[in-house]
Amino acid sequence: MVSAIVVLEELYPDFPDFLLNLDRVLSTVEKDYEIIVVANGTGNFYRSFQHRISGLNHRLRAFEFGTPMAQAVCLKAVIHECRGEVLAIFGSYQQLTDESMAECIRSAHDSVDVISPRRQNRVDPSFNQLQSRMFNWLVRRFAGTDLQDFSCTVKVCRRQVLEETELYANMFRFLPVLAAARGFVVRELPVVHYQERGKTGFYKPAAYAGRILDIFTLFFNTRFSRKPLRFFSTVGMGFSLAGLLVLAFLFVQRLFFGIPMGNRPLLFFSLFVMIVGVLVFSAGLLGEIITFTNGRHKKEYVIEKEI
């Protein structure tokens, strides 16, 4: 059985047409399926479009968040309501062509755990494509992955992947990377881009800062979530070493050239940097203790059993 989850974050007038078309696509791929709409702070869409989607009543279920939540929260909350073993997750509008959506769902067979679409022949503005390529390049560099498209709103995965992969905040777009880090099999599938909606051109500075923080979070989670001391100790030692080098420079000047160091700004700067290094190292040590205490019973891998 396939459960199609539509995370509705912006209510477009043609949203009912998208649901009807999704129903038609699913019917050509799978006999047993359901459509679940998660209205993420958009209001009760069902009352607004009930007359247009009445034909889906026996296959459609809807859930609503009163205030907007992160995609990961929506998915974790609704997964317990899904009956399907394969989960096809979509955004607020149809981003891929009908055949591409069907191909993504067909490709979710037993030997593949996650299908990550890679949009080809993109139809969004050139500047948006440039920003997307830069974002994807940064993710590849920091996460050490070969995947090409993290901004596609469509993801297909087995139920187990979503249940066992830690998702929070805006990390859903990185589901293939996080799943691969746990040992799940991920396949990137070339698809045909149908349309793109949303803001074009430059975003607000907060949006770019959020993307950078997301990339940093992904980098930390995939490499140091079980060993935070390695990351923080490296950073802390770097700060401390820089402070010691500056302090040594001041000491040499004082010892051999008679230059006073008590009232020099560099002295206070070196002490400040060394203190920062000690604090960062302490944060890593605290994280290591917390990880050992609370995370040692969590399974951080999957094993595929072959008979």
pLDDT tens-digit map of 139-187: 998 888 889 999 899 999 999 898 888 887 778 889 999 888 888 999 9
CATH of residue 204 = 3.90.550.10
pLDDT value at 92 more than 70: yes
Closest CA to 170 of 142, 211, 135, 117: 211
| Domain stops at, among 193, 223, 253 | 223
**How many structural domains comprise the chain?**
2
Do 136 and 75 share a structural domain?
yes
Do 258 and 214 share a structural domain?
no
For residue 307, tell me if it sits in a domain.
Answer: no
Do 262 and 185 share a structural domain?
no
Model confidence pLDDT, tens digit, residues 192-220? 999 998 888 888 888 888 888 888 878 77
Do 74 and 12 share a structural domain?
yes
| Domain stops at, among 223, 247, 271 | 223
Do 284 and 218 share a structural domain?
no
Q: pTM of the entire structure?
A: 0.77
The whole domain housing 275 covers 228-294
Do 251 and 174 share a structural domain?
no
| Domain stops at, among 192, 223, 254 | 223
Do 274 and 206 share a structural domain?
no
Do 147 and 12 share a structural domain?
yes
**Beta-carbon count within 10 A of 251 CB:** 13
Q: In what order do the strands lie in the sheet with 33-40?
A: 60-65, 33-40, 2-8, 86-90, 155-158, 114-120, 186-192
